[in-house]
Amino acid sequence: MRTEIYNELVDEKYYHIVHPTGLNIYVMPKPGYSGAYAVFGTNYGSIDTKIRSENGETVDIPEGTAHFLEHKLFESEDLDAFARYAKTGASANAFTSFDTTCYLFSCTGDFNASLRILLDFVQSPYFTEQTVAKEQGIIGQEITMYKDVADWEVLFNLLRALYHKHPVRIDIAGTVQSIAAITAETLYDCYRNFYNLNNMALAVSGNVDIDEIEKICDELLKPSEPFLFERKPFDEPDGICRDYIEESLSVAAPIFSLGYKESYGLPKQTLKQKIAVDILMEIIAGSTSPLYNELLEKGLTNTSFGFESFFGFGYGASIFSGESKDPKAAAELIRTRIAELKATGVSQEDFDVIRRKLYGRLIMSYNDVDDIAHTFVNAHFDGEGIFDPLDVFRTITKDDVSEALSHMMRDEFAALSVINPIEQEK
């Protein structure tokens, strides 16, 4: 079944196809664009550490299995997927996040041939004990390497400080010890549990033909059994593990991440809540905010300073990060200014300015084929439409942002993660 969805405000349309195999397909043609972008994603990420066995029991799986499976799926008995893409000229990649695993490519040439490769290899798992053992060594080296990447370590140290049990505290790739327990049977079990077309989405944007895409999907998609997987809330205590954590690595200057463990809108936020949080974070620490300029003027950080609202199923954090000669002083200033904002409230002027800024950024995103494809997949897994944020931005109020602030960034749920230069180690 194919449905056309049009939005007058941005003068854009896309097609939503509910395929007989269970796959949801989203296509936004962009006539005149030089290339195209495709994402094939599954609602399965590193936080999914349990599967349902054939007898219906819940079984633990090794940490890092989703990421491991992503790597292995590119292989086959013959040519691997990258070698096949090289023949079409497409640039291909994949990633595993906490909640999803996505396979993607961009191209300016033969899109249809590249789409065939994508649909074929993602639906054709090939695992042996020999190839799994080889990959354990490769990913083990990757895990070790990331232990020396300061930006990565400062974030995961923060998550380990904030969370007691939720698997968001675990490195997406797992540990050398956990991946050693992965077998070919483990991968096949996880593939059957999560790589079900009812649990996946395909998104395409660019200079493409919707009829050709549907024809290729009809030819290559394989019917799936009814899908039974459902995420359930994790048994995570309210409080944090610790309020400070530090490590020493080869960095030129200290870096920090100050994070607040959030429960607002969990286990999963609504679209309005997400947009309210985005506006709130920009008001607090955006490049035009008093806090941002005060941090720079006092020499407590530099232009590396940034922030993000970090939400997924059963977890959430407000994070402020950057390089600083005095991370504790920078964190204290951020905490003080947030406390002051809680006391005074969000001003109507600040709300209006930031709402317009983010609304304009959203409208511009409909011109970016990469953004469009990824947004389709994320929106689908969240039960939303790609045009839904336009309506929310037009109707959201200062009170909605104030509501978010009243529930978020509670001082007792804050933790500071610091990476110091090795020469400062005592």
* Residue ranges covered by each domain of the chain: 2-220, 244-424
Chain segment 243-257, per-residue pLDDT in tens: 999 999 999 999 999
pLDDT at residue number 187: 95
- Is residue 43 pLDDT above 90, yes or no? yes
- The model's pTM is 0.94
Which amino acid makes up residue 251? V
- Is residue 156 pLDDT above 80, yes or no? yes
Burial of 174 (0-12, 13-18, 19+ CB in 10 A): buried
- Taking alpha carbons only, the member of 256, 267, 254, 383 closest to residue 325 is 254
Average pLDDT over residues 71-96: 92
Average pLDDT over residues 213-238: 86
pLDDT at residue number 79: 82
Average pLDDT over residues 272-290: 97
What percentage of the chain reaches a pLDDT higher than 90?
89
The class level of CATH for 244-424 reads alpha beta
User: Measured between alpha carbons, how far is 5 from 306 in angstroms, rounded to an integer?
Assistant: 35
User: Measured between alpha carbons, how far is 237 from 172 in angstroms, rounded to an integer?
Assistant: 21
C-alpha angle 410-260-164 in degrees, rounded to nearest 5: 110
Catalytic positions are 70
pLDDT at residue number 33: 93
pLDDT at residue number 414: 98
- Is residue 424 pLDDT above 50, yes or no? no
Structure tokens at 142: 């990757």
Topology match between the domains 2-220 and 244-424: yes
User: Measured between alpha carbons, how far is 336 from 411 in angstroms, rounded to an integer?
Assistant: 10
Match 């409230």 to its residue by tokens: 345
Chain segment 314-349, per-residue pLDDT in tens: 999 999 999 999 999 999 999 999 999 999 999 999
Chain segment 164-182, per-residue pLDDT in tens: 999 999 999 999 999 999 9
pLDDT at residue number 425: 45
- Is residue 66 pLDDT above 50, yes or no? yes
- Helix, strand, coil % (nearest 5) of the chain? 45, 20, 35
Helix (H) or strand (E) holding 188: helix 184-194
Q: Reduce the DSSP state of residue 209 to 3 states and report it.
A: coil
pLDDT at residue number 423: 75
User: Measured between alpha carbons, how far is 25 from 380 in angstroms, rounded to an integer?
Assistant: 10
Residue 44 in contact with residue 101, Cβ under 8 Å?
A: yes
pLDDT at residue number 219: 97
User: Measured between alpha carbons, how far is 94 from 118 in angstroms, rounded to an integer?
Assistant: 11
Structure tokens at 369: 């084929």
- Is residue 229 pLDDT above 70, yes or no? no
- Is residue 150 pLDDT above 90, yes or no? yes
Buried b (16+ CB within 10 A) or exposed e, 139-155: bbeebeeeeeebeebbb
What percentage of the chain reaches a pLDDT higher than 70?
98
Q: Reduce the DSSP state of residue 170 to 3 states and report it.
A: coil
Chain segment 368-380, per-residue pLDDT in tens: 999 999 999 999 9
Average pLDDT over residues 406-411: 96
Which amino acid makes up residue 223? P
Question: Who wins on pLDDT, 39 or 51?
Answer: 39
CATH number attached to the domain at 2-220: 3.30.830.10
- Is residue 426 pLDDT above 50, yes or no? no
User: Measured between alpha carbons, how far is 343 from 285 in angstroms, rounded to an integer?
Assistant: 17
User: Measured between alpha carbons, how far is 58 from 56 in angstroms, rounded to an integer?
Assistant: 7
Burial of 52 (0-12, 13-18, 19+ CB in 10 A): middle
